[in-house]
Amino acid sequence: MELIYNVFQTLLNAGPTVLLPLIILGVGLVFGVKPAKAFRSGLTVGIGFAGIKLVINLLSGSLGPAAKAMVERWGFSLDVLDVGWGTIAAVTWASPIIPILIFAIL
């Protein structure tokens, strides 16, 4: 049981950018997709997910100070910077319960 726990903990510590392609690869293999195509699909999803995270980090780093300056200049009361659905997707796939849910759904 300790070994299984360590394997899952290692996968979770790798983060969603590594875990999501592995899940896509596994789902593809379960549904009978050829291993090369399943690997390519997982890799494509992983690259897209990494790109989304990079854009969100860039936007939040750039828009944060701009929003703060706008609040100071015009006296708005803005407490939240909306970065869109990408951040929620990253948080969702980073959750430690995701591997259990994937197996439960399948």
DSSP string, 76-106: ---------HHHHHHHHHH-TTHHHHHHHH-
Q: Is the pTM higher than 0.75?
A: no
Q: Give pLDDT tens digits for 38-86.
A: 999 999 988 988 888 888 888 778 877 887 888 788 887 766 767 677 6
Q: Determine contact, residues 46/18, Cβ cutoff 8 Å.
A: yes
Please give the pLDDT value at position 78.
64
Please give the pLDDT value at position 87.
66
Closest CA to 17 of 61, 40, 41, 48: 48
Q: Give pLDDT tens digits for 8-31.
A: 788 778 877 888 888 899 999 999
